[in-house]
């Protein structure tokens, strides 16, 4: 496998792990946020995050901050950046 295929395989594996559990670890979420090297992975990740916000009455501010960083390139006051 070449480098691109290995990166794709890794990203797909981590995304699968995130989307297959109810509460993925923040470490896995961080990895995908910072390492998504293709638009399709970023879009898949954001769609998952938005879905997780829609499913609960009181969504996590950390998840909402993560969505805003990815979509708008902003860091909200609550964000650890």
- 77: in domain: no
Instruction: Tell me the residue range of the domain where 51 lies.
Output: 3-72
Query: To the nearest whole percent, how much of the chain has pLDDT over 70?
Result: 93
Distance CA 9, CA 81 (A): 29
- 35: in domain: yes
Which pLDDT score is estimated for 78? 58
- 46: in domain: yes
Global pTM? 0.85
**pLDDT band for position 39 (50/70/90)?**
very high
| Tally of domains within the chain | 1
Distance CA 70, CA 72 (A): 6
- 81: in domain: no
Sign of CA dihedral 34, 69, 18, 24: positive
- 80: in domain: no
In which residue are the tokens 């594996």 written? 13
**pLDDT band for position 1 (50/70/90)?**
confident
């Amino acid at each position: 496998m070449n480098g691109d295929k290995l990166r794709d395989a890794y990203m797909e594996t981590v995304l699968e792990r995130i989307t297959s559990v109810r509460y993925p670890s923040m470490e896995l979420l961080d990895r995908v946020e910072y390492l998504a090297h293709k638009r399709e992975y970023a879009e898949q990740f954001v769609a998952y995050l938005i879905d997780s916000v829609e499913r609960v009455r009181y969504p996590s501010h950390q998840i909402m901050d993560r969505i805003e960083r990815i979509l708008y390139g902003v860091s909200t006051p609550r964000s650890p950046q």
